[in-house]
Structure 1
Amino acid sequence: MTMAPSRYLSAKEACAELGIRPQTLYAYVSRGLIRSETGDQRQRTRQYYREDIERLRRHKELRARPEVAAEQALRTGDPVLESALSRIDDDDLYHRGISVSELARESTVEEVAALLWTGDRSLRIEEFAGEARLDGISPTFIAELAPLSKVEQMQALLPAIGAQDPAAFATAPPHIHQCGARILRFMTLVAAAQDKTDSGIAQTLQSTWLPKRPETARLIEAALILCADHELNVSTFTCRTVASSGASLYAVITAGLSALQGPRHGGATDRLEALWDEAESANSVGDTITSRLKRGDVIEGFGHVVYRGVDPRAKILMELLEEAVPNSSELALAKTLTEEVRTRTGLSHNVDLGLVTLRRVLGLEKGAALLLFCLGRTIGWIAHAIEQYQTGRLIRPRAKYTGPDPRHASD
């Protein structure tokens, strides 16, 4: 088996990678461009983060080829703007410096929203307390939306709700935080098919989806928290762009929902469900994977562009399921899928596998995996919108023209 590269480089390796002298390396560290930690205590050596070294090397190469810099930034994950919300490492994800493992096990959805929106998870946002109601929408209109998915219903109803909110365009704290809470609780009511609630987000979902199993609220809460933010994925970048125009938070979330419904973003869980059904009915899970690989199919639920190994969100969710329902046959099948895919492709599981496993273990309706992702990610969409509002800047990238040369009238 191929060993994963070390997370750290020695000073000699770092200098060789960047083509610099030790003095320059130390200067980069002092300027915060490269992080370092103590290595061998006896020899008083330091080790340097491979991630930072590789990022600086890429930037150095792109300076020599500026024509490809923007394209690579948008396609391969190089940073295109600054954010204080989330940090992705090879083996962990942090929200404002706190590991999502800690947040998923110890915090509520409302606390994580406060953390991402304000920087303080202990801050109480008033609109999360008391009763929330689905008011101001015609019952006839709601009935007409019944054939749509819950995500589509949210997208249809949000503009109507926003039109009735007198504070919809208030983008300064604390008004924007209250607006975010109203939106999140409204979307929860739609997801739960309820017209009112005085409970928390996770408790509202659990009381509707699994009314006789209150212990499952913690698993639902963890899933929502693990989906809260993941930097600039396509829906989040869409939300930031719309927010940069000064549009209301309702318009921002509606745009995020539009992006989420694209098959390359929110469609992975549905395709994974189909793979799961096929594997469940087959004599051999391994043969099912092999057959799909022979057809050239993408194996959904595995691999991620920003992680070299297991997606930390999936790892935590699978651990929580193992602790709660260790004898579940659905959990056993998820483990078999994970092993068979890793053996045949080297890919590790991602959050989509975790969400679909949760749905099946708990016996939730199909579509619940995407719905949990959507509700959790709305917390991050709101956080990015708040951060973008605070910059007061419009996101307006340029395009590289690749069409025919301009022709003049005399040509």
Structure 2
Amino acid sequence: MDWLNANEALTLLGTRPQTLYANVSRGRIKAMRDPKDSRKSLYRGEDVRKLAKRAAGRRRQETVAAEAIRYGEPVMPSSLSTIENGRLLYRGRDAVVLSEKATLEDIAVLLWEAAPFQLPARSRATTPSLQAAFVALAERAAQDAPSIGRSELILRLEAISVLGTLASSLVGGRSATDPLHVALAVAWDRAGAADIIRRALVLLADHELNASTFATRVTISTGAALSAGVLAGMAALSGPLHGGAAVAAQALAGQARTMGAEAAVLARLGQGMPVPAFGHPLYPDGDIRAAALFGQFTPPEHYAALHAAAYRVTGERANIDFALAALTEAYDLPHEAPMVLFMLARCVGWLAHGLEQAQQGQLIRPRAHYVGAGVER
């Protein structure tokens, strides 16, 4: 049996003396008086090395977990969607290929593993708006039954109802039996935009474990209602680093029209801010969703110039948020159209993840890496 002095033990453990003493008092490390100096202690080497190895493992796990949260390795199992070699796949099927013909309702059937369905007749009670959507989902979240302990069939039926509630709030009551892309085109009085709206909705339906989807899954993991999970997703989506990025792209495009595209880009960078709606960590060769949309319409001239200038200066290509901003102006849609399209489409994905999380039945509860006062290092 070997014994280590305090300096040797602390070097192996990588901690402060207080931590060493705490481990001794808790029985994790055996100690004895140093025969050569009764004022000092020796520590059993086997115990110290075992604890040091365990601590190193924890540190590696913390590093992996922290990096995973930032576009790193996958952190939870899901059979819904993934990004693989620049392709977005819904249950193994290419989303770009699906967008050629599928509707958002078709994608719901695929992701929810449900039978074909028709949404409930949409309400005419309120003027369609983003505000109405938040209010409607909040009212449901306060009343709907928890997701825990309910059958898959019942939850799928509830998912249809929740999507119907959101559609009523964002689309309104006209064309209640039409597919959602047609209903939106009618509501916006832009019949010619129906096909590009359909494509956008399909491409936006899911995107594996993005911020809003993670918020939804965390909420459902507590047993909360599907509507509560969707409400959590909506709140996360509203941020400027997520679904709200198209608003910044619209503002930058306005500057490009007045001061020139390259000047607008350089002004943005000169303020120490990235160019909004360009680049995506999961698509190093460019966001395939944006490319698929740009292949179907001609963006306004100042958007095309901005796209070229941003790529020339930054080396980054436009992402889906920029494409949504461009098609909004190209088809003269309402200013909030990017968020409406994003929210309505992603609701299908949120509900799919909510259904999957409810079946897994596990609480999502990460640990915080505390770095505040009193931390022993």
- TM-score normalised according to structure 2 size: 0.78
Letter in 1 for 2:247: D
Given the alignment, which residue of 158, 161, 168 partners 1:182? Answer: 161
Structure 1 residues 315-357: Cα deviation after superposition (integer angstroms, max 9, x where no partner)? 10111224xxxxxxx4333322221111101001100011111
Tell me the secondary structure at the aligned position of residue 88 of structure 1: strand
Match of 1:111 in 2: 106
Q: Does 1:401 align with 2:377?
A: no
Q: Of 232, 240, 243, which residue of structure 2 is paired with 1:263? A: 240
Residue 97 of structure 2 corresponds to: 102
Does structure 1 residue 380 correspond to structure 2 residue 356?
Answer: no
Q: Indicate which of 189, 192, 197 corresponds to 1:210.
A: 189
Task: Determine if the alignment matches structure 1 residue 84 to structure 2 residue 71.
Answer: no
1:63 is displaced (CA, Å) by 8.6
Partner of 2:208: 231
1:31-180 superposed matches below 5 A: 65-118=60-113, 123-125=115-117, 128=118, 131-134=120-123, 142=126, 150-161=129-140, 171-180=150-159
Deviation digits for residues 95-136 of structure 1 (CA, Å, limit 9, x no counterpart): 111111111112111110111111x7xx313xx25x51328x
Corresponding residue number in structure 2 for 1:32: none
- Aligned-pair identity in percent equals 33
Q: CA 1:64–1:277 in 2, change beyond 3 Å: closer, same or farther?
A: same
Larger radius of gyration: 2
Shift of 1:400: 1.9
Separation in 1 of the partners of 2:207 and 2:286? 15
* Alignment partner of 1:252 is 2:240: no
In structure 2, do the counterparts of structure 1 residues 167 and 217 end up closer, same or farther at CA, with 3 Å as the change threshold?
A: farther
Q: Say whether residues 1:310 and 2:286 are aligned partners.
A: yes
In structure 2, what is the Cα distance between the partners aligned to 1:64 and 1:235?
28
On the 8 A contact 1:246/1:389 being kept in 2, the answer is yes
1:390 equivalent to 2:366? Answer: no
For residues 163 and 403 of structure 1, the distance between their equivalents in structure 2, rounded to whole angstroms, comes to 36
Deviations along 1:223-246, one digit per CA (max 9) or x if unpaired, are 111111111111100000111111
Q: Is the 8 A contact 1:167 1:179 kept in 2?
A: no
Give secondary structure in 2 for the equivalent of 1:132: coil
Residue identity opposite 1:336 in structure 2: A
Query: 2:303 maps to which residue?
Result: 334
**Kept in 2: contact 1:171–1:386 (CA 8 A):** no
Q: State the partner residue of 1:358.
A: 327
Cα shift at 1:201:
1.1
Unaligned runs of 5+ in 1: 1-60, 323-329
The aligned amino acid for 1:70 is: A
Superposed displacement of residue 277, structure 1: 0.6
Residue 96 of structure 1 contacts residue 115 of structure 1 at CA under 8 Å; is this kept in 2? yes
Post-superposition shift, 1:264?
2.4
Compared CA separation, residues 176 and 376, structure 1 to 2 (3 A): same
The residue type equivalent to 1:174 in the other structure is L
CA deviations over 1:11-70 (Å, ceiling 9, x no partner):
xxxxxxxxxxxxxxxxxxxxxxxxxxxxxxxxxxxxxxxxxxxxxxxxxx9998333122
Q: Secondary structure at the match of 1:321?
A: coil
**What's the CA shift for 1:372?**
0.4
Per-residue CA deviation, residues 243-288 of structure 1 (Å, 9 max, x unaligned), is: 1111111111111111112232232111111101111122x21222
Q: Measured at CA, do residues 64 and 260 of structure 1 come closer, stay the same or move farther in structure 2, by a change above 3 Å?
A: closer
Contact 1:189 1:196 in 2 (8 A): no
Q: State the one-letter code of the partner of 1:243.
A: I
Deviation at 1:393, TM superposition (A): 0.9
Q: Is the 8 A contact 1:154 1:190 kept in 2?
A: yes
CA contact (8 A) 1:90 1:309 kept: no
Aligned Cα RMSD in Å?
Answer: 2.6
Structure 2 unmatched runs, 5+: 1-55
The answer to whether the Cα contact below 8 Å between 1:150 and 1:190 also exists between their aligned partners in 2 is: yes
SS at match of 2:89: strand
Distance 1:239 1:167, change over 3 A: closer
CA distance in 1, matches of 2:57, 2:340: 39
Code of the aligned partner of 2:169 = V
**TM superposition score normalised by structure 1:** 0.72
Rounded to whole Å, the distance in 2 between the matches of 1:406 and 1:105 is: 55
Q: CA deviation at 1:305?
A: 1.8
Count of equivalent residues = 321
Aligned twin of 1:299: 275
Q: Does 1:278 pair with 2:255?
A: yes
Q: Is the 8 A contact 1:90 1:308 kept in 2?
A: no
Could you say if the C-alpha distance between residues 277 and 161 of structure 1 is closer, same or farther in structure 2, counting changes exceeding 3 Å?
A: same
Aligned residue type for 2:168: L
Closer/same/farther in 2, CA of residues 406 and 336 from structure 1, 3 Å limit:
closer
Instruction: Give, in whole Å, the separation in 2 of the partners of 1:157 and 1:170.
Output: 25
